Amino acid sequence: MNFDKELDARGLNCPLPILRTKKSLAELTTGQVLKVIATDPGSVKDMQAFAKQTGNELLSSAEAGGEFMFFLKKK
């Protein structure tokens, strides 16, 4: 998937992944895509809640080798 910005949130635990995500999204314009890589298993549900609450669309959420990858589209 194409993305405009990547955020490495590996090694960071709650609430840092979504706090950093919010900050990174602020630097994008509407429609741009942010890729987030995290190792915190709690981040899966956190990203879903974040997307639902803030209206930024969670395009995909996947796990590979202990890492979680999310693609979010800025609203």
66 binds other proteins (CB under 8 A): no
28 binds other proteins (CB under 8 A): no
- Applying CB under 8 A, which of residues 1, 2, 11, 65 lies at the interface with other proteins? 11
Cβ contacts of residue 19 below 8 Å, gap of 6+? Answer: none
Query: What is the CB neighbour count within 10 angstroms for residue 36?
Result: 26
22 binds other proteins (CB under 8 A): yes
15 binds other proteins (CB under 8 A): yes
Residues making up the chain, counted from first to last: 75
Give the pairing type, strands 33-38 and 57-64.
Answer: unpaired
- Which positions lie near other proteins, rule CB under 8 A? 11-16, 18-19, 21-23, 39-40, 49-50, 53-54
